[in-house]
Amino acid sequence: MLLHFGIKTVAWATLLGALDAFAGSSLFSLPQELQQQAERSVAFALKADYKKSYQILETIHAGNPGAACVLRNVTRLSEFDDTGDTLVLEKAAKELSTCTAEGGWDVLRAFELGYAQSALGSSLKGALGTRSAAKKFEDSEDKDAQAFYAIYAYYVDDGLSFLPFVSDDREAYLKILEERSANSELFWALFATPLAWMYYDKQEYGKALKVVERAISKAPANPVFWQMKADMLYKLKKYAEAAKIYEKSAEEYLKRTGKSVRYFCAIGNLSRIYLDAGDSEKSKFYADKFLDPDYEKIEKWMPGSLVKDLKKKDLL
């Protein structure tokens, strides 16, 4: 999700310096009871039990409405990524644009709002919002804030890497994301997902697989992580393992969400997995499912890279 101060005043500099004395993320720490509830909410969201996650967040709202708003809409963005329900995405964008929070929570609110706007098609507005929010985390000593900034900064450096005499700190950002994807209490999944795709884009599929397998060890019931694992196995040419995961995923998504984006992602991946594995009959079996009129309804939400590859292979 999807995802993130150069605050220059003396008061904030003093606060951030004090926060650095703690081992983890203190900028986003909540009172113990609220922290425990927040962690429970995240755990249920990662099990795709969104109803329970939202219920728990209601108990946080009275104590910290700003944090509750951010966490509720992080859950909504996760639900959209999983189920493809665009109404959930619209709700997230609307509430993130109207609620307020304090300190780092409000910066994170703006960061997530940028993601939601981009997903809804307002790419420039979303990108500018994300950039503005991320830059506010740039000088933070808080580890989670550093990781949110690292997501933004990595892609900036990646996009400018072809230019001579431009600094390239991508490896440093990857290290930050490695550490926080392993240790962040509330946001580890928000860091693990982009980290895995960064390695994927670098064609370091083994490293990407390790990140996803660590995520699955923390959230074994998360359906998106399992699709990501199959993606990495496919790139490693472990076709049988990848196909097994995607066949199970297609069946489960069809049962749980109908012919959704994730269902057709599984179908598309199965068609190219079997094609590359030399089984043209099975490949065609899955490719033919794109003739379903229901596919046309969600086609614009499909991952562009997958659609492009399927067309290249004459499977779509």
Looking at the domain assignment, is residue 315 inside a domain? yes
Rg (CA), the chain: 20
For residue range 214-259, list pLDDT tens digits in order. 999 999 999 999 999 999 999 999 999 999 999 999 999 999 999 9
pLDDT at 124: 86
pLDDT at 6: 33
Looking at the domain assignment, is residue 284 inside a domain? yes
Looking at the domain assignment, is residue 36 inside a domain? no
Whether residue 205 contacts residue 232, with contact meaning beta carbons closer than 8 Å, is answered with: yes
Looking at the domain assignment, is residue 258 inside a domain? yes
Mean of the per-residue pLDDT values of the chain? 90
Domain containing residue 232: CATH number: 1.25.40.10
Looking at the domain assignment, is residue 178 inside a domain? no
Report the C-alpha gap between 64 and 62 in whole angstroms.
Answer: 6
Looking at the domain assignment, is residue 253 inside a domain? yes
Report the C-alpha gap between 131 and 6 in whole angstroms.
Answer: 12
Looking at the domain assignment, is residue 285 inside a domain? yes
- What length is written for the chain? 316
pLDDT at 266: 98
> What is the residue range of 266's domain?
221-316
Whether residue 20 contacts residue 13, with contact meaning beta carbons closer than 8 Å, is answered with: no
pLDDT at 246: 98
Low-confidence ranges of the chain (pLDDT < 50): 1-23
pLDDT at 1: 37
Cβ neighbours of residue 17 under 8 Å, at least 6 residues apart? 141
Structure tokens at 305: 């890279």
pLDDT at 165: 65
Tokens 């493809």: give the residue. Answer: 84
pTM over 0.85: yes
Count of the separate structural domains present in the chain: 1
pLDDT at 158: 79
Looking at the domain assignment, is residue 194 inside a domain? no
